[in-house]
Amino acid sequence: FRPCLTGNCSEDSCAPPFEFQACGSPCTGLCATYLSPWLCQDLPPCQPGCYCPEGLLEQAGGCVPPEQCNCQHVSGEGAGVTLAPGDRLQLGCKECECQRGELQCTSQGCQGLLPLSGWSEWSPCGPCLPLGLLAPASRAALEERWPQDTAGLSPTSAPTLASEQHRHRLCLDPETGRPWAGDPDLCTVPLSQQRLCPDPGACQDLCQWGPWGAWSPCQVPCSGGFRLRWRGAGIPPGGGCRGPWAQTESCNMGPRPGESCEAQDTVPTPDCANQCPRSCVDLWDRVECLQGPCRPGCRCPPGQLVQDGHCVPVSSCRCGLPSPNASWALAPAEVCGWTAETAPVSTGPWRAPPMSVQPSGLGQPGATALLPVVGAPPKDIGAARRAPG
């Protein structure tokens, strides 16, 4: 391609073998770019100028047929290599040949020889699983830690549940360095590893927790809200769970456009508007408040928390009363029945009576929730999910 002088584009502007075209595409006329038109996406698609005759491409100042185009290859170190048609190049286990300006590679000799990426970081500790569902390496590690006795029985100290971590790696294309997209049978090495969770207390909670559910919509449209998500417990049925069943996190911390934080009875907090606790629900047992890095925004004034979409004094927060798979919400000073005595509910987190007092059950083995005896029936967590405090 040879551009014309402005205002003087005609047949007389071009020297052989180039020919004048009133509307041509420079990219499609060059050996170096006709297979990569995206390299010229910023150029006008129609330019007057001098082009090679139809069927030929420009290379080194002349016009050649496509089968005589050279190939260009840039190595991982950034060094460029030019190959003439028919030249061969070994890229790792791939054997490549220059054809029509493009390297054509075969991976027939790559089985078990593909390059590998590095290992990823270890994942967070996963759910607690029965030992039969663990990876063989994890089971072997447990057997080393708690060897079986001569009768073939595991000692009583051996865990019944265990958590694993995972990490992964990829087979790479030796030509591009990108993840391998060819025949999967050529990638023969293990691409994942498992190990036991290094946290010794990861499965002291007897529950087999399910995965966390999706986050709920933000409870407040602006100026400092929060949202929740839940998870269910598998075994043992009816109780024994000690971990959190719900989590909260901040959302919609900024004011409505054109408004200040004060318009929604919140205050600007430049240092850490998402600091825990943010809502009355954050005070409940078995609800985990996730804070994350501090961010500026709006939040309730000191001494107040979000409940029912508004800031209320902490003394007005409803209490969360744990049950086997949920929490009941009780108003301040509402009384719950115990087998030995009654006691007023304290603000925020539930405060249990003396250890000698046993809570009433719910008709389920191992149930530990309390039964209300006065006032309106306490809200089950199902109601709290629809309008959390």
For the chain, what percent of residues have pLDDT higher than 90? 25
146 contacts 135 by C-beta, under 8 angstroms: no
Give the 3-state DSSP-derived string for 210-241, with helices as H, strands as E and coil as C. CCCCCCCCCCCCCCCEEEEEECCECCCCCCCC
What pLDDT sits at residue 195? 92
DSSP three-state, residue 137: helix
Q: CB atoms < 10 A from the CB of 195, how many?
A: 14
Confidence check: pLDDT of 121 > 90: yes
Place of tokens 């708690």: 146
What pLDDT sits at residue 33? 84
| Two tokens, residue 59 | 């290379």
What pLDDT sits at residue 355? 29
The one-letter code for the residue type at 357 is V
DSSP three-state, residue 293: coil
Mean pLDDT of the chain: 76
Question: 2-66 belongs to which CATH class?
Answer: mainly beta
Confidence check: pLDDT of 207 > 80: no
Which of the four pLDDT bands, split at 50, 70 and 90, describes residue 95?
confident
Q: Nearest-5° angle of CA 42, CA 48, CA 49?
A: 100
3-state helix, strand, coil in the chain (%, to 5): 10, 30, 60
What pLDDT sits at residue 146? 73
Which of the four pLDDT bands, split at 50, 70 and 90, describes residue 342?
very low
Higher pLDDT, 287 or 344: 287
- Of 286, 316, 285, the C-alpha closest to 300 is 316
Tell me the C-alpha to C-alpha distance, in Å, between residue 326 and each of 297, 352, 368, 389.
31, 17, 11, 14
With residue 104 as reference, give the H or E element that holds it.
strand 102-106
For the chain, what percent of residues have pLDDT higher than 70? 73
Numbered ranges of CATH 2.10.25 in the chain: 2-66
| Integer Cα distance of 60 and 47 in angstroms | 21
CB-based burial label for 155 (10 Å; 0-12, 13-18, 19+): exposed
Strands (E) in 135-293, as ranges, are 161-162, 164-168, 192-196, 225-230, 246-251, 267-269, 287-289
What lies within 8 Å, CB to CB, of 68 at 6+ separation is 59, 85
Confidence check: pLDDT of 374 > 60: no
What pLDDT sits at residue 370? 33
Of the given ranges (55-59, 154-158, 269-273, 336-340), which has the lowest mean pLDDT? 336-340
Higher pLDDT, 218 or 25: 218
Higher pLDDT, 301 or 335: 301
Average pLDDT over residues 258-272: 90
183 contacts 112 by C-beta, under 8 angstroms: no
Place of tokens 């509402």: 334
Q: What is the pLDDT of residues 295-307, one digit of tens each?
A: 999 999 999 999 9
What lies within 8 Å, CB to CB, of 64 at 6+ separation is 31, 56, 57
Of the given ranges (45-49, 62-66, 157-161), which has the lowest mean pLDDT? 157-161
